[in-house]
Amino acid sequence: MAVRKSKTEEGITPENFVSRLDSLDFGNFYVLLGEDFTRAERFLETLRARLVPAGTEDFALEVITVDKDHNGAGEIIGAAETLPFMGGFRLVIVRHGEELDAAALEALGEYAQETGEHKREGMLLVICMSSLDKRLKFTKTLMKLNAIIDCEPEPIRDLREFAEKYYGKDLTPAGERAFSEIVGTDRRRAAAEMEKVSLYTGDRKEITEADVMAICADSNIQDEWELRNCLMAGDVEGAFAALRNMRSDPQGTEEGIFAKLCYIISDLPQAAQAAGRGDMRGARVFPGNPRYSEIRHFLGNLSTEKQRFVLSLLMYQMIAFRGSALPKEAMDDLLCLSLLSDE
């Protein structure tokens, strides 16, 4: 069974490899390893553009997809050993290499060793694999030859830089905050969602909060955001309209809506203290809301008496909610009003 590799010092990155292309300072055999598929495709496209002259693709480029009909080393090695067209360069790309059987990997490991000792001119073989068993002799051979190109997802430290570098988009500050809260910074998920929102914006350079909400948030999350925004703004009519939308969700329940409101209210004391210290991360009582300054103003103006009143109401309503047949919608409305009331 394949085991995803951990980071190793032996691996090189796609970017490192690209820097060697002009001088042809690389070997013949590499495994492109990892699950950053967007980065991997960009790397493979760069190889095609730089190593395969336009018009020679039919002779100089071969792409093999491993499946039940193509699961042996013979086809791959044969493609690599085919002489380049008219003395040019030959690029062989193998997709889904993690599906290769043990016998194929054994033979390919021997071929990797052979090409490492006796380099072929004008040839590059790249096998794309999402995972690799470190116990295999094949893997140990690759590590010894420094033939692993590390394409594992890297942590995203700056979403705006990530959007610009990989998608050519300008993620606005509000859009960044929304994306961070809804999607997070996990490389795989962020890349997938950024790809979708980039396609949604088309030729437009800018990605806004509205774009992120439209693509990355489902209707239930959008209604929650609207409710939080209305609560902060003191908009009674808007808050009740958002509640009605949440209730119309066939997947939602009154218990679920009540639980969300309970979370908002019960976290007020700690959030208010954080706002007073200027700690906006701690003050995000409304998870996902990008309007930090409004949150700080809203929480900073809550008096201790108001907090006690809201939490007391919450306690009694929780008892009533669990032990009585009182209308649940009315309890939700009272919770909203307790936040919106000036008294």
Give the CATH number for residue 66. 3.40.50.300
Range of the domain at 300: 219-340
Looking at the predicted structure, is the pLDDT value of residue 286 above 60? no
Same domain, 268 and 323: yes
Q: Among 8-12, 63-67, 311-315, which is the least confidently predicted range?
A: 8-12
On whether the CB atoms of residues 337 and 314 are closer than 8 A, the answer is: no
65 in any annotated domain: yes
Please state, in angstroms and as integers, the Cα–Cα distance from residue 329 to each residue in 222, 261, 320, 323, following that order: 20, 12, 13, 15
Counted domains in the chain: 3
Q: Name the domain boundary from 150, 179, 197.
A: 150
Same domain, 29 and 146: yes
Quick one: tokens of 244? 């009605």
Same domain, 36 and 81: yes
pLDDT tens by residue, 173-231: 888 888 887 787 777 778 888 888 998 999 999 999 889 888 887 666 667 777 766 77
Strand spans (E) along 164-267: 170-171, 206-207
Mean confidence (pLDDT) of the chain: 80
Q: Name the domain boundary from 168, 200, 216.
A: 216
How much is the pTM?
A: 0.51
8 in any annotated domain: no
Quick one: tokens of 306? 């108001």
Give the CATH number for residue 224. 1.20.272
- Which helix (H) or strand (E) element contains residue 126? strand 123-129
Give the bridge partners for 125, in sequence order. Answer: 29, 92
Residue 291: per-residue pLDDT: 60
What is the distance between the alpha carbons of residues 189 and 47, in angstroms, rounded to a whole number? 26
